[in-house]
Structure 1
Amino acid sequence: MFENVGWPEILVLVLAGLFILGPERLPSAAAWLGRNVRKVREYASGARDQLKNELGPEYDELRKPLEDLQRLRGFNPRAAMTKHLFDDVGDDSSYKPNGHPGPIGNNGTDATKSDNRPLEAGEKPPVDPDLT
């Protein structure tokens, strides 16, 4: 939750608290905040433990989709597209979108079975009309 909060942000918060509350009330306000944060953590862990005890094995089934959502939180679309575009995704012969047999070349042959040679000057690249 607070992984993006660094020392400069904490320093700004302390200085703002010092100006707003004054030096005489700042220590008691910090102690109050610490106590309440600890209480909230205890309530959250108690609720999680109680839910885990009541649900039993179903708790793991509930937890898995939540963990998947947590993993998506760190999703980097640029890295995913780079991996998809530049990794050898064409080597997987089992992947055929929508049951399509594969890209068809200009001469009616299956373009996935080509020799992957560079195009000659003036030669048209293979086209898949379903994808264009």
Structure 2
Amino acid sequence: MFGLGWLEVVALVVIALLVFGPEKLPQAAAQAGKTLRNLRQMANNAKNDLQAGLGPEFSDFDPADLNPKNFVRKHLTGPLEDDWNRDSADPPVHVDSYAAEAAGELGYGEIPPYDPEAT
């Protein structure tokens, strides 16, 4: 429940009883529930308005993809997960051009090539 342990929940209940008192606590909880429900409804309406305003070409748009964590996960690991046949035991091995060039590594004491235009 929101990453809280039972000890934290008990502490929150005790603090709520001390702040609101036993008479007003049910009213405060009901008001908090209504406020949360209204906020959730407003967020859903804003999401639906945004998707409707973007048009059909953005039908697969999800605002959660704008979260940097989800964005990086989707764009860095997306093609690998799509190509991987989940029935096979081993995932495919992807070799890019940099890895192929890295196979010709320099030996000890060798001087790397110098490109004056790159500096």
**Normalising by structure 1, what TM-score?**
0.51
Between Structure 1 and Structure 2, whose CA radius of gyration is higher? 1
Query: Any residues of structure 2 matched to 1:97-112 within 5 Å, and which?
Result: 102-106=104-108, 108=110
1:38-60 Cα offsets, whole Å, 9 max, x none, are 00000000110111011122364
Q: Which has the higher contact order (CA 8 A, sep 6+)?
A: 1
Unaligned runs of 5+ in 1: 74-90, 109-127
Unaligned runs of 5+ in 2: 74-93, 114-119
- Measured at CA, do residues 35 and 45 of structure 1 come closer, stay the same or move farther in structure 2, by a change above 3 Å? same
1:81-116 Cα offsets, whole Å, 9 max, x none, are xxxxxxxxxx947325xx7774211375xxxxxxxx
Query: Any residues of structure 2 matched to 1:116-127 within 5 Å, and which?
Result: none
Give the % identical residues: 33
**Normalising by structure 2, what TM-score?**
0.56
User: How many corresponding residue pairs?
Assistant: 92
- 1:20 is matched with which residue? 19
Q: CA deviation at 1:14?
A: 1.2
- Measured at CA, do residues 10 and 54 of structure 1 come closer, stay the same or move farther in structure 2, by a change above 3 Å? same
Higher helix share: 2
Secondary structure (helix, strand or coil) at the match of 2:46 reads: helix
- 2:32 is matched with which residue? 33
Contact 1:52 1:59 (C-alpha < 8 Å) held by counterparts: yes
- Measured at CA, do residues 58 and 11 of structure 1 come closer, stay the same or move farther in structure 2, by a change above 3 Å? same
Q: CA deviation at 1:12?
A: 1.5
